C-alpha cells in the first residue's frame, strides 16, 4: 500500500543525535499547525506548546534536567547519561514542551499531540524523540521559575516534550509484536 501517513507511522523511530542545522520557517509553521490540529477530549484545547529553538534556552533546560537527575540520588541513571554524552535532551535544534491544564484526559491529550508532532516531523523529512525527561527540570518548586519564564499560566503542568531535528544517527523502528493485538471478529 502506498500511503504517506502509514509510511511516517511505520518508519518513525526515536533519534537521539541531531545535526546542528536549524529548521526552516516552513517546517516550524507546519509543526505548529500539527500541534494545534490535535484532538482533545471535549475539544478542551487547554494545552500550551512551547516551541524552543533558542540554543541558550535549550542548553539551560538540558543543564537543569541533568542537575535534577543528579540531585535525585539515582546515581546509576545519572552516570549512564554522563557516559552517553551528558545531554539528556540530545541538544536538538527544536524542543517542543507540552503543558496542559489539570484534567482527567490531560495526559492523553498531550500524548496525542506529541505523536502528531512526531509524525508531522517524519513527514517533513525530520526525526524526533519523545521526551519525558524534562519533567525532572520542570516539576516541583525548582522548576517553577523555568516554567514561568516560558509564560505558562498557573494551573498548567508539564506533560511531555519532543526533540525534533535532522538526524545524525540511524535507528530502526522497534519491533512490532502481533500478539499484542486481540481480535474479536
Ligand X SMILES: Cc1cc2nc3c(=O)[nH]c(=O)nc-3n(C[C@H](O)[C@H](O)[C@H](O)COP(=O)(O)O)c2cc1C
Give the interface with ligand X as residue ranges (CB under 6 A). Answer: 13-14, 16, 129-133, 160, 171, 173-174
Q: How far is the CB of 19 from ligand X (least distance, A)?
A: 18
Least Cβ distance, residue 161 to ligand X (angstroms): 8
In terms of CB distance, is 151 or 178 closer to ligand X?
178
Shortest distance, position 26 Cβ to ligand X, whole Å: 25
Nearer to ligand X, 181 or 185 (CB): 181
Minimum distance, C-beta of residue 129 to ligand X, in the bound complex (Å)? 5
- Contact between 183 and 111 under an 8 Å Cβ cutoff? The reply is no
User: Apex CA 152: angle with CA 147 and CA 154, to 5°?
Assistant: 95
- Where would I find the H helices in the chain? 4-11, 25-36, 55-71, 75-83, 106-123, 135-138, 140-149
As a 3-state breakdown, the chain gives helix, strand, coil percent values, each rounded to 5, of: 45, 15, 35
Q: For 82, how many CA atoms within 13 A lie in the half-sphere containing its CB?
A: 9
Query: Taking the alpha carbons of 55, 49, 88, 164 in that order, is the dihedral positive or negative?
Result: negative
Closest CB 144 distance from ligand X, rounded Å? 21
CB of 112 to ligand X, least distance (A): 12
Of 97 and 160, which has the nearer Cβ to ligand X? 160
Our CB check for ligand X shows the closer of 31 and 162 to be 162
C-alpha 23/C-alpha 95 separation (Å) is 11
Q: Quick one: 16 or 152, whose CB is closer to ligand X? A: 16
Q: Among residues 16 and 167, whose Cβ is nearest to ligand X?
A: 16
CA distances from 65 to 32, 129, 131 (A): 24, 16, 11
Amino acid at each position: 500500500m502506498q500511503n504517506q501517513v502509514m509510511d511516517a507511522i511505520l518508519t518513525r523511530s526515536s533519534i537521539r543525535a541531531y545535526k546542528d542545522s536549524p529548521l526552516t520557517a516552513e517546517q516550524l509553521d507546519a509543526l505548529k499547525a500539527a500541534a494545534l490540529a490535535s484532538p482533545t477530549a471535549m475539544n478542551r484545547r487547554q494545552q500550551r506548546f512551547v516551541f524552543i529553538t533558542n540554543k541558550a534556552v535549550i542548553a539551560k533546560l538540558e543543564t537543569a534536567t541533568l542537575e535534577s537527575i543528579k540531585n535525585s540520588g539515582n546515581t546509576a541513571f545519572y552516570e549512564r547519561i554522563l557516559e552517553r554524552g551528558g545531554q539528556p535532551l540530545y541538544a536538538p535544534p527544536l524542543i517542543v514542551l507540552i503543558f496542559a491544564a489539570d484534567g482527567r484526559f490531560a495526559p492523553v491529550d498531550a500524548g496525542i499531540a506529541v505523536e502528531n508532532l512526531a509524525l508531522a516531523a517524519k513527514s517533513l523529512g525530520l526525526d524526533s524523540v519523545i521526551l519525558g525527561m524534562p519533567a525532572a527540570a520542570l516539576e516541583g518548586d525548582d522548576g517553577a521559575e523555568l516554567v514561568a519564564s516560558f509564560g505558562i499560566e498557573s494551573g498548567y503542568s508539564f506533560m511531555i516534550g519532543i526533540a525534533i531535528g535532522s538526524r545524525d544517527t540511524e535507528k530502526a523502528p522497534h519491533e512490532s509484536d502481533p500478539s499484542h493485538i486481540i481480535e474479536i471478529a
